[in-house]
Amino acid sequence: MSEPVSEPVSEPVSELRHDAEWRRLDLRMLLVHPVNEVIRFLPVIIGIFVLGSGGENGGPWHYIGVAIPIAIGLIRFASTKFRITPGQIELHRGILGRNVLTAPLDRVRTVELTATLIHRLLGLEKVEIGTGSAKKGGDSRLVLDSLGREEAQRLRTELLHRAPEVSTGSTSPGTAAGPAAAPASHVILRFDPRWVRYAPLTSSGVLIAVGALGAVGGPLAGSNLISDIANSDAVSSLADVAVSVLVLSLVAGFVVLSAILASGGYLLQNWGFTLTREDRSRTYHVRRGALTTRETTIDLDRLRGLEVHEPLGLRLAGAGRLNAIVTGLDRRSEGSSPMVPAAPRPVVIGVGEHVLAEAGPLHADLVQHGPAAQRRRYIRAIVPLALVPLVLLLLVLLGPTPWWWVVLTAPLPVLGVLLARDRYQRLGHALTPAYVVMRWGCFRGRRDALQRTGVIGWNIKQTFFQRRAGLVSLTATTAAGRQSYEVLDVEEATAVALADAAVPGLVSQFLVRSAS
Amino acid sequence: MADSELGSGPVLRDPANLVSPRARIVWRTGAAIRALVPFVVALVLQLTGAWDLPLWVWIMYAVVALADVVLMPIYRYRVHRWETTATAVYTQTGWIARERRIAPMSRVQTVDLEQSVVGRVLGLATVTVTTASAAGPLRIEGLDRVTAERLVDDLTRRAEAEGGDAT
């Protein structure tokens, strides 16, 4: 099984040395996987035990329920091995079916180490290697679950410092000591627990709360409890006022709940957040997590820009988040890796400037998109919001709809005006010596700075209404991050000029002088 | 295409080449099928008495469907265009909403040629050019087969000549 099948004969010496280097997962993973599998199989196991005790002689079933998960863990350990040859990393999996993943070392973009609580107690790390493959499914990354902490860090060093080390012997103890001592590494950002005050302003709290309510509410809805309450005489005898008080207190309760959950989630995820720069390997290094720790290493050569997230809540509180635009990160997380969690804006901008080594992209005044774009913002914000009270008014006139619905929704168009004004003010773009900058959005607003050399194509979209307004949406496509970054609703001539200036020599061959 | 342009700055012109005129047949067939399926379903429901649609609904549907079948392909044929130069690929698609895509030759990763059943009958093919970005491959639909094959050869050769890892 460990015999090389198709190795090139041309470099026998190094091959011989590396042949012996089939490595396996750390034996301690045997303890992690069964625990994980037992948790995953918990419903089945409980079912078996319940059935078993209910039946007359369910003896052996008890043990099978536990044995299967443990067996799966054993099989996974026995069937996984990997090695690093001078040119590539190979991962073998499977006993009957066989799955070989191979990736050239120079395509390794990122290395991520994660450790759940169980991993940490056992001194283990799960290693995920991102290889910037353009597959959209995104499951092409190599996962080693798990290695000893030392081993994992050594592997990361090997993979990211490949140029000199691999040829001189990848298991030399010198490299092993490397990451622990971390020569020439500068801490750029350290987590401040006071930042937790921004957590309730992010949307994640609402999401968690909705999820939690769904988990609790699902079974509740299944039972007859809610309909019983709704149909009971007690409820129907309540006055409208009491109902609205009830609704208001429910809303308030939801807000408090989501704030608490958001804060908890924020602390769990970002506790001990540390961003460091390692000069020797030209990488940035993010470490975070209270229970599950996560370490991401970002190769500076793979960094294509930054996203400054300024959702409404954070913006009003003078805060923001910073994500890196990187090639080869997991598509599931949309290829953006957090560099600063929700934190005060000066901190975010400070780190951003440090990373970009240029103040322009994050500070530069943006070119506004003009009156047509402004009109479009107002129409798009106000029309749908004004329709709500109008339709309700119609319903009131036609039938037995409570009139206070109209009163309640009447301020919506005013909100629309505010929304449109904010959206237009935030809309803008700029071109700096090295970056294309675009900013947009109110609730989920962002300012993206994308390296001009990272742009690998332009899409110019125009809907029917945009064409009438003389506007286009200009999208820069890239191999990194979200894969595309959009300059929204910009005048056609401006868009063309921007695309032409940002990537010289590409668009110019398709330009003509305007005849009109 | 640039009739809404007011300024006198440079304007992005249309790509030079039209696709095969036979592409209109493909679009027209598609539109006809799209129009007929709901029509047949509604007709069955009407005849069995499950639905009772007034006449004006039928007339309006017929007008819209007919416009789609007759006018859409003509209009689309004028919009769908493509062009390649030594350093770039440029496509334009759509009809009500339009999209232009430009990719530098140096970033081209794969060039695919595919033929649907209808395409084989009509001797048409679709060429898809992808880059390292998952956003927006460039698709040229309805090329006649010979042109498509020549284009694929051409693009493959030029992309190879540019080299690099295309990210």
Interchain CB distance below 8 Å, B104 and A463: no
Please say which residue of B77, B101, B128 terminates a domain: B77
The number of folded domains in chain B is 2
Q: Is the Cβ pair B132, A503 closer than 8 Å?
A: no
The tens digit of pLDDT for each residue in A50-107 reads 665 544 455 566 666 667 767 777 887 888 888 887 777 888 877 666 777 777 777 7
> Residue B102: what pLDDT?
96
DSSP state of B120: H
Residues A361 and A408: beta-carbon distance below 8 Å: no
On the 0-12 / 13-18 / 19+ scale of CB atoms within 10 A, A362 is buried
Q: Is B62 part of any domain?
A: yes
Taking residue A349's Cβ as centre, other Cβ atoms within 10 Å add up to 17
The answer as to whether B94 is a domain residue is yes
Rounded Cα gap, residues A147 and A149, in angstroms: 6
Does A292 have pLDDT greater than 90?
no
> If you average pLDDT over residues A184-194, what whole number do you get?
89
Domain presence at residue B31: yes
| Residues of chain B found within 8 Å of residue A511, distances taken between Cβ atoms | 10-13
CB A465 within 8 A of CB B98: no
Nearest residue in A to B107, CA atom: A456
For A96, half-sphere exposure in the C-beta direction (CA atoms, 13 angstrom radius) is 0
Q: How confident is the model at residue A242 (pLDDT cuts 50, 70, 90)?
A: confident
Angle A253-A256-A261 (CA atoms, 0-180°, nearest 5)? 120
β-bridge pairing A511-513 and B138-144:
unpaired
Q: Is the Cβ–Cβ distance between A205 and A265 less than 8 Å?
A: yes
Same domain membership, residue B119 and residue B68: no
CATH number at residue B101: 2.30.29.30
The domain boundary, picked from B33, B50, B77, lies at B77
Q: Does B93 share its domain with B130?
A: yes
Residue B22 belongs to domain spanning? 17-77
Task: Give pTM, 2 decimals.
Answer: 0.78
Q: Please report, rounded to a whole number, the percentage of residues in chain A having pLDDT higher than 70.
A: 75
Average per-residue pLDDT in chain B?
88
pLDDT for A334 beyond 60:
no
Average pLDDT along chain A:
79
Shared domain for B52 and B37, answered yes or no, is yes
Residue of chain A with shortest Cα separation from B90: A510
What residues of chain A, 299 to 358, have a C-beta less than 8 Å from chain B?
327, 331
Token representation of residue A354: 């440090």
Q: Who wins on pLDDT, A196 or B4?
A: A196
Q: How far is B115 from chain A (nearest CA, A)?
A: 22
Decide if A415 contacts A422 (C-beta within 8 A).
no
Task: Please tell me the number of Cα atoms within 13 Å of A498 on its side-chain side.
Answer: 32
Of A143-147, A333-337, B27-31, highest mean pLDDT: B27-31
* CA–CA dist A129, A330 (Å, integer): 10
Do B68 and B89 have their domain in common?
Answer: no
The C-alpha atoms of residue A372 and residue A153 are separated, in whole angstroms, by 54
Percentage of residues in chain B having pLDDT higher than 70? 92
pLDDT tens, position by position, B79-111: 999 999 999 999 999 988 999 999 999 888 889
The residue extents of the domains of chain A are 193-270, 274-368+427-510, 370-423
Minimal Cβ distance to A506: which of B6, B13, B104 = B104
Instruction: Give yes or no for residue A279 having a pLDDT over 90.
Output: no
Looking at the structure, tell me whether residues B54 and B109 fall in a common domain. no
Mutate to test the interface with B, among A490, A492, A500, A511 (most CBs of B within 10 A): A492
Whether residue B6 is contained in a domain is answered as no
Looking at residue A267, what is its pLDDT? 92
Dihedral sign (CA A400, A402, A403, A407) = negative
Instruction: Give the C-alpha separation, A495 to A488, whole Å.
Output: 10
- A289 in the Ramachandran plot: left (φ > 0), alpha (ψ -120 to 50) or beta? left
- Asked if residue B150 has pLDDT above 70, the reply is yes
State the nearest Cα–Cα gap between B132 and chain A, in angstroms: 5
What is the 3-state composition of chain A as percent helix, strand, coil, each rounded to the nearest 5?
50, 25, 25
Residue B60 within any structural domain of the chain: yes
Contact predicate B98/B133, CB 8 Å: no
Task: Flag whether B1 is in a domain.
Answer: no
Paired tokens of B80: 């769908």
Q: Does B115 share its domain with B140?
A: yes
- Hey, is the C-beta of A481 within 8 angstroms of any chain B C-beta? no
In the chain, the amino acid numbered A191 is: F
The alpha helices in A20-113, defined as continuous H runs, are 29-40, 42-54, 59-79
Query: Do both B70 and B29 map to the same domain?
Result: yes
pLDDT category of residue A373 using cuts at 50, 70 and 90: very high
Question: Do B71 and B94 belong together in one domain?
Answer: no
- B114 with B132, same domain: the answer is yes
- The verdict on residue B25 lying in a domain is yes
For residue A69, with 0-12 CB atoms within 10 Å meaning exposed, 13-18 middle and 19 or more buried, which class applies?
buried
Please report, for residues A135, A455, B137, the alpha-carbon distance to residue B111 in angstroms, rounded to integers and kept in the order given. 15, 19, 10
pLDDT, residue A457, reads 93
Please, which residues have CB within 8 angstroms of residue B114's CB and are 6 or more apart in sequence? B125, B126, B128
Nearest in space to A343 (alpha carbons), one of A198, A206, A446: A198
pLDDT of residue A305: 92
Residues of A in contact with B2 (CB under 8 A): 492, 514
- Domain match, B41 and B114 both: no
Residue B119 inside a domain? The answer is yes
Give me the mean pLDDT over the B28-44 stretch. 92
What mean pLDDT do residues A302-310 have?
91
Report the gap between the CA of A203 and the closest CA in chain B (Å): 26
Of all residues in chain A, the percent with pLDDT exceeding 90 is: 32
